[in-house]
Amino acid sequence: MNDLAELKRFVVAHAISQNLPTGHYASPMGRITSDSGDEPGSWSYEWIRAGEEAEAAGETLAACQYYNLGRFPFVDGPGRKRALARCVEAFERWRREWPGIEAVTVEVDGLPVKVWATGLSAEEPRPLLVMTGGIVSPKEQWAPVLPQIAAFGMAGVVAELPGVGENPLRYGPDGWRLFTAILDALAGRAKVSETYLLALSFGGHLALTAALRDRRIRGLVGNGTPIHDFFTDTAWQARVPTITRDTLAHLVGVPPQAVFARIRDWALDDESLRDLQVPFATVTATKDEIIPPGDTERLKRSVRDLRLIEHSDVHGAPSHLAETRAWSLLAIQEMRPDADPRVTAALGAALEAAREGTGR
């Protein structure tokens, strides 16, 4: 069972990332008095109720987002299982308004992994952008960005990490192979030799590992990426939020008290980082409660082409959402040799506007 106060504190960043107004998500949170179960007052029930109210008002995407919060941080019982199912169903209804978005099944180790995609074409293959969230973000949380990716002249895929959402894989040190499997599956419908990864939080760790092994990946963008000290620093691990520890344990398949011993060997050392041949643009937060500051320092001294933006914020920099989003998309455009200069200019203007809005 999750600590309810911690759960409410951490879910706010995900509500903000989905552009849910404070007045909207504060109401269901105020009704929640229990983490477990699926009855009035429970975590899943109240978020599902909010989603149903949004659907009744014709706001299908908002409903999907509320259902997503109802399964946060991971499915651990009937209530959160119901919330995830409703989240996927609502996204299915919303994406029908966008005919270019399609479901694609990728096979990894004999298991089918569903992703959302756009811009795929055998006749006119485009450069590929693959996006993932972290260990608590299903693909439906980020898939609404797909129409924007298509507008950049790219094919786009939004996936979820192993064990997250509908992904049946076990989260492990070889989880990076999901990216390679996606590229292999789309080789006839996208220009996979020009692939870029936008991978948030723990997704960034797998993306870095994939880029060290798959030369089709031409650039990376991350946000709050665990690198080395997160996996090895026992003093830091003692202060990692319980939700993060328990979610990792659930995905890895070990008891919470054993999870850090299990993932210790996943750390990327300086030598590995120096071997990275492609640019890595990443967002870091100076008040990050999950990723230790030593991981940022390691990137600074070891990555040959590092493009870094630091915010005075917590993990994921939720208070700088507009700036982070514009900066991340602009970073991808600046890595592409054939990027449309009009798109690059528009993203640059959006970044400046976002910075003006935060007083930077």
Instruction: Read off the pLDDT of residues 4-43 as tens digits, 9 standing for 90 and up.
Output: 888 888 888 878 777 777 677 788 888 999 998 899 999 9
Average pLDDT of the segment spanning 59-67: 95
The candidate with the shortest Cα–Cα distance to 285, out of 321, 305, 309, 307, is 309
- The pLDDT tens digits for 265-276 are 999 999 999 999
Q: What are phi and psi of 217, to 5 degrees?
A: -80, 120
The lowest-confidence range among 13-27, 91-105, 161-175, 256-270 is 13-27
The rounded distance, in Å, linking the Cα atoms of 248 and 73 is: 10
Q: Quick one: pLDDT at residue 360?
A: 56
Q: What are phi and psi of 240, to 5 degrees?
A: -65, 135
The rounded distance, in Å, linking the Cα atoms of 322 and 259 is: 34
Joined tokens for residue 212: 């060290």
Average pLDDT of the segment spanning 98-121: 95
CA 23 distance to own-chain centroid: 24
Confidence of residue 99 (pLDDT cuts 50, 70, 90): confident
The answer to whether 183 and 141 have CB atoms below 8 angstroms apart is no
Contacts of 237 (CB under 8 A, 6+ apart): 230, 245, 260
Is the confidence at residue 350, as pLDDT, over 80? yes
* CA geometry: angle 39, 42, 48, nearest 5 deg: 80
The candidate with the shortest Cα–Cα distance to 87, out of 23, 170, 165, 180, is 165
The rounded distance, in Å, linking the Cα atoms of 360 and 355 is: 5
The whole-chain average pLDDT of the chain stands at 94
Identify the architecture of domain 100-358 in CATH. 3-Layer(aba) Sandwich (3.40)
Work out whether the CA dihedral 152, 157, 162, 167 comes out positive or negative: positive
* Whole-angstrom Cα Rg for the chain: 19
- The pLDDT tens digits for 127-161 are 999 999 999 999 999 999 999 999 999 999 999 99
Q: 36: part of which helix (H) or strand (E)?
A: none
The answer to whether 214 and 125 have CB atoms below 8 angstroms apart is no
- The pLDDT tens digits for 207-261 are 999 999 999 999 999 999 999 999 999 999 999 999 999 999 999 999 999 999 9
The candidate with the shortest Cα–Cα distance to 271, out of 293, 303, 242, 248, is 303
Domain with CATH 3.40.50.1820 in the chain: 100-358
